Structure formats: C-alpha cells, structure tokens
Chains A and B, each alone.
Chain A
Amino acid sequence: MDLLGINPVLLIASLMVSATPILLAAIGETVVEKSGVLNLGVEGMMIVGAVVGFITAVNTENPAIGFVTAAIAGALLSTIFATLVLYLKSNQVATGLGLTLVGLGISALLGKPYEGIKSPTLQSLDIPILSDIPIFGRMLFSHDAMVYVSILIVGLVWYTLKYTRVGLVLRAVGENHDAAHALGYKVIRIRFLAIMFGGACSGLGGAYISLVRVPQWTEGMTAGAGWIALAIVVFASWKPWRTLIGAYLFGGITVLQLNLQAAGVAIPVEYLSMSPFLITIAVLVIISARGNQGAPASLGRPFHASN
C-alpha cells in the first residue's frame, strides 16, 4: 500500500490536519468577502486566536475552552477592523494590513510567559465503527473534532449562502450595497456581523495551529498561513466547497513535498511548492477570461448611506 515509499493513508490523514487551519480561516474570509468587505487582517486574527486559545487551554487544561475563547478573541479583534472600516470609512486594505501588525504584536506580548509550555491537545475521536473500516477509518475517521467541525462549518456556510434568506441578504449586500440599502437592509450591521464571523473562524484556525498541529506557542507561529487563506478564497472563486478543495490542495502539496523528500524521491520540490500558486493564477486567468470574476461586485468599496 506504499507509493514511492509513502503511505497514502498517513499522507491523507496528515494533509487533513495540515489544511484545517487555512480552511477555517479561508471559509471565514469567504463570508466576509461575500458581504463586500476585504479583510487582509486574517494573519493577525489567526495569531491572536493561536495565543489566546493556547493560554486558556493551558490554564483550564481544556482545549475545547481554548478553541471557544480563540474564536471570541478573533471576533473581538475583528470588531476593531469593522468599526474603523464601516463607521469611520477607513481604507480596507490599509486597515487590514494594520490589523495583521497589531495581531502579531499583541500575540507576542501576551504569549511571552507561555513560551516553552506544553498544552493539552485534542484527542482524536476515533469515531466508533467508522474508524474501524480498513484504510478509510485511519484516513478519514480518526481525527480530532476540529477537523470535522471545520468541514461542518464549510457545509453550513454553503447551505446558508445558497438556501437561506440570511444568505441571500448577505450576498445582496456584497453585490450591490446601494440597492440592498434601498431595499431596507442594514448594510453596516450585516457587514459587521460577517466580519466578526470571519474573525471567529480565523481565531479557530490559529488555535488549531497552536493546540493541535504544532502544539505549542511560538511567537509568529502562523508564519503566513493567513495570506495563504486569502489566496484560497480567490482560488475558490468565493465558493464554499471549492474553499475546501483549495485548502486541502494547498495543505496537501506542502505535506506531499515534505513526504516525498523524506522518502528520498528525487523531485525538485520547488516546483511542487509553487504549484498551488500557479494554479491560483491559472484559475484567475480562466475565470476572468470567462468574463465573470466571481468576486462580489461591491468588494472593497466603502459604503455610506448618503450616496
């Protein structure tokens, strides 16, 4: 059952783990962008989630509480962004970048006393019956709860955006905020909540890195995962299930190239490492050639009720 000396069961199992943080952050950002706001502060919210989740998990010895507080922390941090962008009409790109810097700074400060401490980590669930299935049990059904939660969130976002009134209103706000406003929808309030949802998801993603994937706190430990999440949103052309594919592809390539190296396969890893980004560019070219970029029409544009 080995290909090139790599066990595909273990490979898929570890790519799911490695993709979960970027999946969570990307699905949150998808909702934010669907509402017409571009929040480039994903990295900052992730790392604050990572440090807050770690601190509470260590102090309560309960990783579940760590995840909950990480989501709250990410959402709280995103309210700074939301207030600046929605009420004070600051530039979204600059504010988002600022949020990343703030997040990196705060997390370094908060995390200082927690360096080198071990955290309680989530146990894998080993779902009864399903996890006993040969091959697939180990591959798909022996993960920790957060892996399934992340997939569940993707499903919920997809369903909500596509089939519910709330989703329709959110999309309307993102496509044309003036029309949505004229129809009486609370553009600012809807965007504020969407930004908070994005913050909470980013916080969860960050906490997954510090509580499960590594598991420890190190300053700057997200190391660019937030930017990859932003790329995935574009790669997925703002569609929830494609986000899942994108995250597993990006996460999978990293794990695959490390495994290929460990197995001593002579493939130039540089090509493998750059491939997800090449695919992103290709996807962008294809969707823009089709004349429909897939991006919400009001993305990044400030809204004021008087216009």
Chain B
Amino acid sequence: MKLKSILTSAIAAVALGTAAIAADIKVGFVYVGPVGDGGWTYEHDQGRKAVVEAFGDRVETIYQESVPEGADSERVMTQMALQGADLIFTTSFGYMDPTINVAKKFPNVKFEHATGYKRADNVSTYSARFYEGRAVQGHIAGKMTKTNKIGYIGSFPIPEVIRGINSAYIHAKKVNPDVEFNIVWAYTWFDPAKEADAANALIEQGCDVVLQHTDSTAPQAAAEKAGNVITFGQASDMAEFGPLPRVSSIIDDWGPYYVARTQAVLDGTWTSMDTWDGIGPGMVKIGEISSAVPADIKAEAEALRDALGSGEYHAFTGPLNKQDGTPWLAAGETADDGTLAGMNFYVEGLTGTIPQ
C-alpha cells in the first residue's frame, strides 16, 4: 500500500512538473551523425541551440543522433511525432522518402527536410548553396596546388555532392588549366577511420589538396599528419586544424532558419516552401582564410566570395559543357535551380564516371 501511494504521488508530481514547464510547441531534430562530429551534425545542433536560446521555455527541443538513413529513420520520426512534436527537422538527404512517408501519417505535424527535393503540404525542404563555397575553395585549391592533383572525398553520389565537385573543379580549372581531380566515394557520411584512409589514399597518389564532403574532421587530421597538404573545413569551421592544413572552410549556419521556422509554427503562419540560400543570406559562410594562403590569393578568394554573395556572379556561368562534351550553358548563361537541384553529371574535364 505504502509503495503504491508513493508511486501515485510520484506520478502526480511528474505530471504536475511537466504541466508546469509545458512548452508551447515541441521541435524534433533527426541527425545522421553524433552531435560531436565537428562538422555537419554539429552545425545542425548549433541551430537547435539557437532555437532554445531564442524561445527559452516556450519551445521544447528533442533530438536523436546517429540515425541511419532509410527505414530506421521512419521509426525515429514516427516516435517523435507520437511524442507530440509539432515540427520535425530531418537533416540528411537519405531521410527524404521516410520524411514524406511519415508526414502522410501525421498531417498536423510540420516536417522540414534538409537537402532534398520532395515536398508535401506539411513538408518543406531547405538547403544551403554549398556550391558557392565550393567555388571559393576551388579557386584557392587551384592556386595553391603544386602537384596539380586535387583529391576530393565524396560521401554518396547525390546531386548535392556532385554540384560541389563540379563547382570546385570549374573554379580550380579557371585559375589552373593543368589541374586534375581525383574523386573517392566513401559511401558514408561519418566514419572517421574510413575518411582518414580515403584522405591517405589520395595523398599517397600525389594530391596536395584534399577537399571533403564527409562530416568528420578525420581527413584534416590525416592531412596534418602527412604534412604539405591543405584542406578545407566542411560544414563547420574546423578552425582547430588551422592555419595548416585547414586554410579555409564552408560553415553552414542553420540557426536563423530554424528560429524563423519555429516562429512560423508558433504564429500559425507555417507553409510548405523550398528554401535554398547561399552566401548572400548568410546560410553559407566562408571560414577565415588562414595565414598559409598568400595575401593576393586570399584577396581574390574574398572578392569571389563577395561577388557570389551579392549575386553579381553565379558559380555555374557558361560557357560550360557536360563531361561528354555536349554543350550545357552558353557563354554568359547561368544554370537554373532545377538543373542544379537534380545535377547528375560531371562538367567537361572531370575524369571518371559517377557511380549509379
């Protein structure tokens, strides 16, 4: 009896406690890696923290880390929706179909899927124009390489990654016609040991610049160990690896977007939309270009960054041909967002084929 009464009062206390701190809305985040990856997921979690800071007790945030892409993520999203989440951010490309599936079952829950292209009445998509940052990296890489071989660690052959490769290549080639790209697909977003192995393989093949589109800082550490190799921070600043090997970075700044969308749900003004912002609106930032880069190259890179930000220059400006030589963009023409969003081809000059 006594135990029962203790339990009852405990449950009552918990219920009271939750009632007292009940937030207006609950926001869920589904992460592909751990929040401590130092890259992609880290920045999404910074965005979540920005939401906490902006709304305090009015918003409760929940998150789950290292959620595999595919069927398992559906379970996680369903669980969050059942827990009463009003808004769920699913922060990796591979959550695209699961997000759409779960969204169908919970029409009153709002979903936001990062880097995808499938929308519904309660599913928005958002992404950053990382390729603008890749243009700046390509410029620095083309100028800095001595072996004229640039290594690129890709995660999965999806449009977002292919866009980055093309953008970096176009701008490296522009300043250094002899440049070659060696591309390695790691088939993972996060596996430090494998990412380090990939970086080492590229370095052993003579690459003295390594660009990465995977989430951990392992390639930076591998480059540092090898010496005489430069790298760029990916998704996060990775400043701890500067001034060498990390000479600059692309930083994703999700905070303002997450705050705005949470506000929209609070106000009841949330609608399904597609957001794709770049350097101009501040969703993509270029990390400090380190002292290892000569001043003139640094100035050029910053000028390129500003031109991309103001919109006077587009990273995909013709004349550009596809890899097989067929014309894509005429001189002065710029790529439309539809083509970029579904980009599944290399530009002329890149070697190798995109795995299907």
Contacts and interface: CB of A to CB of B under 8 A. Distances in A.
B38 A116 contact: yes
Interface string A237-252: 0000000000000000
Interface centre among B193, B205, B353 (most CB of A within 10 A): B193
A261 B34 contact: no
A209 B218 CA distance: 11
A97 to B, nearest CB: 16
A209 B194 CA distance: 11
B193 A225 contact: yes
A258 B197 contact: yes
A18 B197 contact: yes
Contact of A269 (B66, B185, B202, B351): B185
B221 A214 contact: yes
Given A7-B204, A215-B221, A261 B184 contact: yes
A223 B214 CA distance: 14
A10 B37 CA distance: 29
A263 interface: yes
B28 interface: no
A304 interface: no
A213 B193 contact: yes
B184 A218 contact: no
B185 A263 contact: no
B32 to A, nearest CB: 11
A214 B34 contact: no
B225 interface: yes
Interface residues of A, number: 42
Contact of A266 (B33, B38, B221, B353): B353
A178 interface: no
B36 A213 contact: no
B205 A121 contact: no
B284 interface: no
Interface in A250-285: 254-255, 258-259, 261-264, 266, 268-270, 273
Contacts of A100: none
Given A223-B190, A223-B192, A116 B240 contact: yes
A276 to B, nearest CB: 14
B225 A121 contact: yes
Interface in B1-50: 33-38
Given A18-B197, A225-B193, A216 B221 contact: yes
A298 interface: no
16 contacts: A14-B201, A18-B193, A108-B36, A115-B36, A116-B238, A213-B197, A214-B222, A216-B192, A216-B217, A218-B216, A219-B36, A223-B188, A254-B197, A258-B184, A262-B204, A264-B352
- 4 tightest CB-CB pairs across the interface, nearest first? A219-B36, A219-B34, A223-B191, A258-B201
Interface of B: 33-38, 66, 151, 182-188, 190-194, 196-198, 200-202, 204-205, 207, 216-218, 221-222, 224-225, 238, 240, 351-353, 355
Interface of A: 5-7, 10-11, 14, 18, 21, 108, 111-112, 115-118, 121, 209, 213-216, 218-225, 254-255, 258-259, 261-264, 266, 268-270, 273
